[in-house]
Amino acid sequence: MKSSQRLAKEYSKIQKSDNEFNISIDSNNILNWKAILKGPDETPFKNGNFEISIKCTDQYPMKPPKVFFNTPIFHPNIHFKTGEVCLDVLKANWSPAWDIFAICRAISLLLSHPEPDSPLNCDAGNMLRAKDEMAYFSMGEMYTQMFAIKENSDKK
Amino acid sequence: MEFKEKGNEFFRSNQFEQAINFYTFGLNSHPDQNLREVLYLNRALSQIKILEYDKSLSDCEAVLQFNHSSIKAHYFRGLALSGKKQYKNALESLKTSLRLSEKEKATWIQELKGKIDEVELLLFQENENQEKNYLEKTKNNLFQYLDELIRLRNQNSKNVLDIQDKMSELQIFFEKIQPKRPEIPSYFCCPISLDIMNDPVVGNSGVSYEKNAIFNYIDSGGNQDPITRIPINKDQFHPNICLRQAIEEFLEKNPWAKKRNETIIEQND
């Protein structure tokens, strides 16, 4: 089974849906996908649009794709500089029955349910572990304003 | 012998008219039966290449007269008939060729099956279009007739609105009886490959997978069921025969849902 065949199937399914994550494929390489996640309400990321890139290998779906945030985000499980995401289903808990859409939904959920105990961003993790919600929110909102909202209004 | 070689040379460089000439010279030189069969068959395939389906058919018939179990004669006959859009007869010839090939365990069986799938799809599309055209024609005639009636009636009637309601009801009716291809049921598709399954297998979890897909996953280090996450190994997977039969039945009625076989047979002796 070829990864490109499976990805083509996924893409045609997404095109038939309302494509809530604005998922798109790199026109030169079917293994490289992009999606736009909307910052969920009641999080510091509200009103932000976060672009992620999803890079599959030719072993997909036997092995998980690599996911990175292109838009910087202040979140305990997302590396602020590299955009790397720490999520169990993208590592040991991956299942080949997962698809790109499910990944987008899982990451969207991660935005509203951070896991401060396995941080890639220690500052954000420490704030949550210290239950300092105010600091977490004001830092998160600031960066959302800087990168996830401004970027978008520039394009328009 | 020489004519055949010359003809094949032209065939390989896609000069089919020249190839046909040499095969014809060969046939005119009273060859023995074996050579005659090869020359006829090669000429039949060349004729198909230049869309001379009738000439190809008569070459196939010539072979079938003295060798009724010639796999290639039946095969080329199928190709030519399919070229003439006689899909039903084409299928019959192709299936005869397949039956003979299976007896001889020939190497091109997969490709032959692919060709049969292709012609089955063409036949299905032809029937589908015929049905659509018939409906379209009936609908247009009916509406034309009704329009005429309404025009005559309108001159002395107050029920214009009522008539409009009835007309849109009729429109909806025609929409509803349009032939539609059903969705491929998701339970016919493997959760890993997302494709309709050829060889579904089921393990302890009760979830069915395409055999190749789940075995590839296990080979690449997977040890949990992709859906239920219970431990899995190859030994626990068995063919799901009922599901396979259900899929085969669905595919028979919906040849468009078959996976496309990309290779196309092309050979010459």
ipTM of this model? 0.76
Mean pLDDT of B184-199: 92
Q: Which residues of chain A have a CB within 8 Å of the CB of B223?
A: none
B261 pLDDT band, cuts 50/70/90, is: very low
**In terms of domains, do B93 and B149 share one?**
no
Please give the backbone phi and psi of residue B192, each rounded to the nearest 5 degrees, phi first: -95, -55
- The residue with greater pLDDT, B157 or B62, is B62
**Residue range B238-252, pLDDT digits in tens:** 999 999 999 999 998
Is pLDDT above 70 for B263?
no
Nearest chain B CA: its distance from A1 CA (Å) = 7
Q: What is the pLDDT of residue A112?
A: 92
Q: What is the pLDDT of residue B171?
A: 86
Q: State the Cα–Cα distance between residues B50 and B15, nearest whole angstrom.
A: 10
B124 pLDDT band, cuts 50/70/90, is: very high
Instruction: Indicate whether B149 belongs to any domain.
Output: yes
The two counts, helices (H) then strands (E), for chain B are: 10, 3
Structural domains counted in chain B: 3
Instruction: Indicate whether B166 belongs to any domain.
Output: yes
Instruction: Indicate whether B66 belongs to any domain.
Output: yes
> Cα torsion for B195, B196, B198, B203, to the nearest 10°?
80
**Residue range B9-18, pLDDT digits in tens:** 999 999 999 9
Q: What is the pLDDT of residue B30?
A: 81
Nearest chain B CA: its distance from A2 CA (Å) = 9
CB B243 within 8 A of CB B207: no
Is pLDDT above 50 for B44?
yes
**Residue range A103-125, pLDDT digits in tens:** 999 999 999 999 888 889 988 99
A150 pLDDT band, cuts 50/70/90, is: low
B155 pLDDT band, cuts 50/70/90, is: low
**In terms of domains, do B155 and B72 share one?**
no
**In terms of domains, do B192 and B151 share one?**
no
Among B52-56, B254-258, B260-264, which range has the highest average pLDDT? B52-56
Q: What is the pLDDT of residue B268?
A: 47
- How many Cβ atoms from other residues are within 10 Å of residue A118's Cβ? 12
Instruction: Indicate whether B170 belongs to any domain.
Output: yes
Domain that holds residue B145: 112-176
Instruction: Indicate whether B260 belongs to any domain.
Output: no
Instruction: Indicate whether B181 belongs to any domain.
Output: no
- The type of residue at A29 is N
Q: What is the pLDDT of residue B56?
A: 95
Mean pLDDT of B154-182: 78
**In terms of domains, do B15 and B84 share one?**
yes
Hey, are the CB atoms on A96 and B194 less than 8 Å from each other? no
Q: Which residues of chain B have a CB within 8 Å of the CB of A63?
A: 220
Report the Cα B166 to chain-centroid distance in Å: 42
Is pLDDT above 70 for B199?
yes
**In terms of domains, do B77 and B118 share one?**
no
How many interface pairs between A and B have CB atoms less than 8 angstroms apart? 40
Hey, are the CB atoms on B222 and A96 less than 8 Å from each other? yes
**In terms of domains, do B101 and B49 share one?**
yes
B51, B80, B107: which is the final residue of a domain? B107
**In terms of domains, do B8 and B99 share one?**
yes
Nearest chain B CA: its distance from A17 CA (Å) = 14
Enter the tokens of residue B259.
Answer: 């996976």
Is pLDDT above 90 for B208?
yes
Q: Which residues of chain A have a CB within 8 Å of the CB of B212?
A: 1
B57, B84, B107: which is the final residue of a domain? B107
**In terms of domains, do B56 and B141 share one?**
no
Report the Cα A107 to chain-centroid distance in Å: 5
Report the Cα B207 to chain-centroid distance in Å: 30
User: Which of A44-53, A88-97, A129-138, B106-115 has the lowest average pLDDT?
Assistant: B106-115
**Residue range B224-243, pLDDT digits in tens:** 999 999 999 999 999 999 99
Is pLDDT above 70 for A151?
no
Q: Which residues of chain B have a CB within 8 Å of the CB of A102?
A: none
SS3 B20: helix
**In terms of domains, do B144 and B129 share one?**
yes
Kindly list the structural domains of chain A, giving each domain's residue range(s) and its CATH number in brackets, ordered by start: 3-155 (3.10.110.10)
Instruction: Indicate whether B87 belongs to any domain.
Output: yes
> Which positions in chain A have a beta carbon within 8 angstroms of at least one beta carbon in chain B?
1, 5-6, 9-10, 13, 59, 61-63, 95-97, 99
Among A106, A80, A108, which residue's Cα sits nearest to residue A95?
A106
**In terms of domains, do B78 and B118 share one?**
no
Q: What is the pLDDT of residue B1?
A: 57
B92, B107, B122: which is the final residue of a domain? B107
Q: What is the pLDDT of residue B265?
A: 37
**Residue range A14-32, pLDDT digits in tens:** 988 888 899 999 888 899 9
Instruction: Indicate whether B261 belongs to any domain.
Output: no
Listed as own residue / partner, the contacts of B23-32 with beta carbons closer than 8 Å and 24 or more positions apart are B29/B3
**In terms of domains, do B116 and B202 share one?**
no
For residue B242, CA distances in Å to B117, B200, B202 come to 22, 9, 11
Q: What is the pLDDT of residue B84?
A: 95
Is pLDDT above 60 for B181?
yes
Q: For the domain that residue B76 is a member of, what is the CATH number? A: 1.25.40.10
**In terms of domains, do B157 and B235 share one?**
no
Q: What is the pLDDT of residue B178?
A: 83
Is pLDDT above 70 for A155?
no
